[in-house]
Structure 1
Amino acid sequence: MLKKKFAGALVASLALSVLATVAPTATAAPKAAAIAKAGDDCITAGRVAKARGVEGSDLTCLVVSTGTLKGKLKWWYKDVTPLSKLEWVASSGVGGGYGTTAIAFADAMKAEGMLSDYTVAYKSGGSGTVGLGYFQDQKAKDFAFITGFAMVAGVASTKSKLNQADSKAISGLMREYEAIVVPTSSKYKTINQLLADIVANPKLPIAGGSKGTVDHVYMGLLVEKAGGKATEMNYVPYAGGGEVTTSVLSGQTVAGVSGTSEFASFVKAGKLRVLALSSPSRLKSIKGQTLIQQGINFTFGNWRGILAPAALTEAERVNWLKAVDVTRAGDAWKATLVAKDWQNQTDYGKDFEAFLASQKKDITTTLVSLGLA
């Protein structure tokens, strides 16, 4: 039986984090040095905002020389150095959330002049541990790794000896809500209809990400709320959202669960119908009702962030943080957040490292309480 104390704590922490973290808005007026953030307007060129940057670094009022803010007077990092070519490692198949996030942020870095070029290596399998192992085996410094809820859960559910703490924690990037979809020809019109059938017939196959991922936990919690058992549902794991979509459209499974961005184009094309969104209110990027609108008082969110190789020097690690911060300050990433209905997550370096440690503890506890690990 679900241990509500532990699962409830994780759900509450995720929901509160999602609700409290919103996409950035355009700067309305110049900001004083005492409250400045990277990308804010400033007035006096050369003035320094002490300790207002990442991990207590300084910002300087200067004319931005690259990217979407080029030519504007902004609080900026005087010493930030653009990164050269990177290989981003995604622990999913093509079309999965890890790869989608890597491409989105790498493109934003290029748009802001913070990255010259990049490739994405897709390393699916082992609930994400294949990709993590591949990344941590590299000796070069020109790699980046997209981590997330699913990675923490994958390490826990497979009892892997890999440890994300063996890499450099760079930054959280985004949070994304979950969607449950069916083919438009499906008999299911609401989430309550689907949940009732799953409780009555646990053998109904439901597609989602790897075992123990946010998709698995989210579906398990919903089934428990409907009166069923998470351990009895027929959850069919796939390496990423692309495979989940194929499974649902081909009729191999009756419904699929994944991040909203992985289904949005198929919903828009009329191939999939959303039964429920895990967001507190309707989203612009994908059409569908929320759980709350259908009488289920429940919100839930995924998150993703960046790890860098352990071989980085301290100076290289801090430069990574600065490159991410100015990328986030530019217009390209802000536009991506709006287009995908992603929420900004702005914990850097040591703060992100602490976040990963807390997630490892909370997610593992919830998986065990659900009987999924």
Structure 2
Amino acid sequence: MRRDTFLKSLAALAAAGALPSAHAAGVPMKMMIPANPGGGWDTTGRALGKALQDAGVASSVQFENKGGAAGALGLAQFVNASKGDPNALLVMGAVMLGGIITGRPPVSLSQATPIARLISEYNVYVVHAASPLKTMKDVVDQLKKDPGSVKWGGGSRGATEHIAAAMIARNVGVDAAKINYVPFRGGGEAVAAILGGNVTVGGSGFSEFQPYIDSGKMRALAVTAPTRIKGLNAPTLKELGIDVEIGNWRGLYAPPGITADQRKAMTDRVLQALKSKSWAESLAKNGWTPALLSGPEFDAFVDREFATLRAIMVKSGMV
């Protein structure tokens, strides 16, 4: 075949979409979820995995859950086992930063490679439907009488719901160091504890508790958002005279040891996935607020968040 004829044939195939494409075919990817199944990181990671495949930038996504220590166990395994892998991702967020501040794990987040902030979600505090505590005021009244009698259930020590509980105590005149916080390694464990009556009040993202609120098994008391959350009949803490507002963002890191070009390629894949119909459906279903940041802006944001969370935790007696 003559060269000009061959080139014309290639052009025709490309126009018809018949040529194989590295972008369309995608690559096998791995995703570390540093929490047990059923929680916010798990939901976020699996939703993103589906979006990566739907966008054609991943041929498959292999998930691994490793819960414990506010994500520090999963972070350590990710840093040590995935070094130099340009096709691996770690789900992380504000909870991990809080856990690092309180736990001081041997592996630092700075050893991994920032990719992007994806979403933000505010926490909702709930009680079992049969709880004698009907409102957040009831919880606060009991907290003032006997701080230790109120068991706050939520994510790992240093999670945003832990920080918020300490902030609530401090705001209503209770020594934050006296709060009785019960950490769990994943949202599934926290849900079981609330439904089993093993904690007084539970905190987590709305998406994790929504099925149980909608079914009447849990009663929502208040949210940590600046305004009420759509689809949830619960006041903000500020409406109740408790000056507390704190959000929970989630993002992604790549392993250490990848090149600048590999980091850019991974970021581009993630950005492509966030444009997919699948991701838009996940945002709507879970009530997530898009909060995209990537590149140097994300790097700087994480540094600021460390400083902000540390200051809040010091004021609340957690550090």
TM-score above 0.5, yes or no: yes
Q: State the shift of 1:319 in Å.
A: 1.3
Q: Does 2:126 align with 1:181? A: yes
Tell me if structure 2 keeps the 8 A contact 1:241–1:259: no
Specify whether residues 81 and 354 from structure 1 end up closer, same or farther in structure 2 by C-alpha distance, changes over 3 A only: farther
Q: Which letter does structure 1 place at the counterpart of 2:214?
A: K
The correspondence of residues 82-161 of structure 1 with structure 2, limited to 5 A, is 83-138=26-81, 139=83, 140-161=85-106
Tell me if structure 2 keeps the 8 A contact 1:86–1:142: yes
| 1:241 corresponds to | 187
Q: Distance in 2 between matches of 1:89 and 1:351?
A: 23
Q: Which letter does structure 2 place at the counterpart of 1:266?
A: Y
Q: State the shift of 1:297 in Å.
A: 4.5
Q: Distance in 2 between matches of 1:230 and 1:265?
A: 31
As a proportion of its length, which structure holds more helix? 2
Corresponding residue SS for 1:329: coil
Q: Distance in 2 between matches of 1:370 and 1:220?
A: 6
Q: Does 2:148 align with 1:205? A: no
The correspondence of residues 44-83 of structure 1 with structure 2, limited to 5 A, is 83=26
Tell me if structure 2 keeps the 8 A contact 1:92–1:240: yes
Q: Distance in 2 between matches of 1:82 and 1:362?
A: 42
- Per-residue CA deviation, residues 118-156 of structure 1 (Å, 9 max, x unaligned), is 122111112321010010011333321011111111111
Tell me if structure 1 keeps the 8 A contact 2:167–2:244: no
| 2:228 corresponds to | 282
Tell me if structure 2 keeps the 8 A contact 1:99–1:120: no
Corresponding residue SS for 2:30: strand
Q: Which letter does structure 2 place at the counterpart of 1:276?
A: A
Q: Distance in 2 between matches of 1:135 and 1:81?
A: 27
Q: Distance in 1 between matches of 2:231 and 2:26?
A: 31
TM-score for both structures, normalised by structure 1 = 0.75
Q: State the shift of 1:184 in Å.
A: 0.8
| 1:222 corresponds to | 168
Q: Distance in 2 between matches of 1:119 and 1:125?
A: 20
- Per-residue CA deviation, residues 157-203 of structure 1 (Å, 9 max, x unaligned), is 11223221211110000000101000111112211111121121111
- Per-residue CA deviation, residues 221-241 of structure 1 (Å, 9 max, x unaligned), is 111111112110111111122
Q: Distance in 2 between matches of 1:171 and 1:96?
A: 20
Tell me if structure 1 keeps the 8 A contact 2:154–2:203: yes
Query: Percentage identity across aligned positions?
Result: 28
| 2:10 corresponds to | none
Decide which of 210, 217, 226 is 1:271's aligned counterpart.
Answer: 217
Unaligned runs of 5+ in 2: 1-14
Q: Distance in 2 between matches of 1:351 and 1:267?
A: 36
Q: Distance in 1 between matches of 2:134 and 2:184?
A: 24
The correspondence of residues 307-318 of structure 1 with structure 2, limited to 5 A, is 307-318=253-264
Tell me if structure 1 keeps the 8 A contact 2:172–2:242: no
Larger Rg: 2
Q: Does 2:206 align with 1:260? A: yes
Specify whether residues 189 and 141 from structure 1 end up closer, same or farther in structure 2 by C-alpha distance, changes over 3 A only: same
**267-276 or 80-89: bigger deviation:** 80-89
| 2:3 corresponds to | none
RMSD (Å), alpha carbons: 2.0
Specify whether residues 292 and 82 from structure 1 end up closer, same or farther in structure 2 by C-alpha distance, changes over 3 A only: farther
Unaligned runs of 5+ in 1: 1-62, 66-77
Decide which of 359, 362, 369 is 2:305's aligned counterpart.
Answer: 359
Moved over 4 A (4+): 78-83
Q: Distance in 1 between matches of 2:72 and 2:294?
A: 23
Q: State the shift of 1:365 in Å.
A: 2.5
| 1:162 corresponds to | 107
Q: Which letter does structure 1 place at the counterpart of 2:152?
A: I
Q: Distance in 2 between matches of 1:240 and 1:181?
A: 16
Corresponding residue SS for 2:292: coil
Tell me if structure 1 keeps the 8 A contact 2:86–2:266: no
Q: Distance in 2 between matches of 1:349 and 1:228?
A: 41
Specify whether residues 221 and 209 from structure 1 end up closer, same or farther in structure 2 by C-alpha distance, changes over 3 A only: same
Corresponding residue SS for 1:192: helix
Q: Does 2:117 align with 1:172? A: yes
- Count of residue correspondences: 298
